[in-house]
Amino acid sequence: MLQNNHVPDDVFECRTRHPRERRRDVDDGERMTSASPIGPSAVDPLLHIEQHGTPHVLRDRLASDVRRGLTARPKRLPPKYFYDDRGSELFDAICDLPEYYLTRTEHALLRRVAPAIIAAVEPSHLIELGSGASRKTRVLLDALQRSQPRPVYVPIDVSGGMLQQSATALRAAYPRLRVYGLVADFEEGLPPLPVGRRRLVAYLGSSIGNFEPPADQRLLRAIASRLQPGDALLLGVDLVKATATLEAAYDDAAGLTAEFNRNILRVINRELGADFDPDRFEHVAFYNAEAAQVEMHLRAREAHAVSIPALDLVVSFEAGETIHTECSRKFTRDVVETLLASSGFRLERWDESPDAAFALALGRVETAA
Ligand code: SAH
Ligand code: AVI
């Protein structure tokens, strides 16, 4: 059943003040297709979820990305297509693996610094990109609800099932929290952000590392352009470290990351009628020290062909040929500070975990010169 609650007119930029911003956001919104409300069955006035992009548009985008990626040399696929319901659940399970230190390290760091960050920014709205299960977000929400009588949380994620599930769970856990979920692919244009006295955008999990330059800067600039001076960005970043630690994190003993990697082939089978046999591909993950990134690939175990009827395409694989499915860049403070500065943010705080494995960078929107 559709969740069709009334959204107050002052919630989204495109429906309210800031004429300059309004024009741009409305244009973006129209290009991305119209937003339609979806949501859980019980009517809850504090919960609203909007879908940006119709299934038709999303499938066309997948089709053109897959055609471009699998006819390129070397072959590649965009990592955002890992995250159907199964992929999101696999990622959530990866977060609990002993080898995947990122989540627990960032979680512990957040527990230590979230109160100070919320006190420094004093946000009325917490907006989260790539929110997934919103597990670590609770640490920020705990601090936010202590300081705000009517806190607002805006999760934005391409994975609609996971967003709906986590938004519903958060509403149950935080009775005063308004949740405006946006199901959107922010690579295709950031959806309009809510207006608010002060906004904190969180982008956790080192997900910025899945964007290669200059796409990382493009995304951060888009965020900055939607914010006002004084608003802030909290960026979780995984730091450069020993190769063995990095490679274990992306090639776990239980094989969950391998399944997550192969899931992209299952998505293409389901959406485009392809006949990939995921077992004919081996999961490969290694640290490319020169580029400071872990790379994930799928390597064909033998020569074979795959048919993709929706694209009227047959893709041939040589034995050993790879599809590059993901980069996970690893950062230093200098790289993050430069990236933030070139995107319109001044680095205000830098907090590292005690083992220097992971950091949280707080960037503040610069006042226009
Ligand atoms: N923030 C969580 C989840 C990280 S997994 C954490 O730190 O654990 C990355 C999340 O980003 C997934 O939920 C995925 O669906 C989402 N995502 C990936 N690419 C996206 C895109 N282009 N637009 C919107 N969401 C995206
Ligand atoms: C979401 N993202 C930051 C994860 C990462 O570490 O790059 C995705 C992931 N890929 C393999 N394991 C986890």
160 Cβ closer than 6 Å to some ligand 2 atom? no
* Ligand closest to CA 133: 1
Q: What is the whole-number distance in angstroms between the Cα of residue 192 and the centre of ligand 2?
A: 26
Among 238, 239, 250, residue to substitute to test ligand 2 (most atoms within 8 Å of Cβ): 250
Whether residue 288 lies inside any domain: the answer is: no
Whether residue 148 lies inside any domain: the answer is: yes
Whether residue 173 lies inside any domain: the answer is: yes
Whether residue 182 lies inside any domain: the answer is: yes
Whether residue 9 lies inside any domain: the answer is: no
Whether residue 1 lies inside any domain: the answer is: no
Whether residue 314 lies inside any domain: the answer is: no
pLDDT single digits (tens) 270-324: 999 999 999 999 999 999 999 999 999 999 999 999 999 999 999 999 999 999 9
Domain that holds residue 124: 23-57+95-241+332-365
Q: What is the whole-number distance in angstroms between the Cα of residue 305 and the centre of ligand 1?
A: 31
Distance CA 280, CA 287 (A): 23
Return all residues near 162 (Cβ < 8 A) that are at least 6 apart: 83, 85, 88, 89, 92, 132, 133
Distance CA 323, CA 281 (A): 9
Ligand 2 atom nearest to 205, measured from its CA: 3
Q: What is the whole-number distance in angstroms between the Cα of residue 35 and the centre of ligand 2?
A: 28
CATH of the domain at 341: 3.40.50.150
Amino acid code (one letter) for 244? A
Q: How many domains does the chain have?
A: 1
pLDDT profile of the chain (369 residues), mean per 10: 39 39 30 46 85 88 98 98 97 98 98 98 98 97 95 97 96 97 93 93 98 97 96 98 98 98 98 98 98 98 98 98 98 98 98 98 84
Whether residue 291 lies inside any domain: the answer is: no
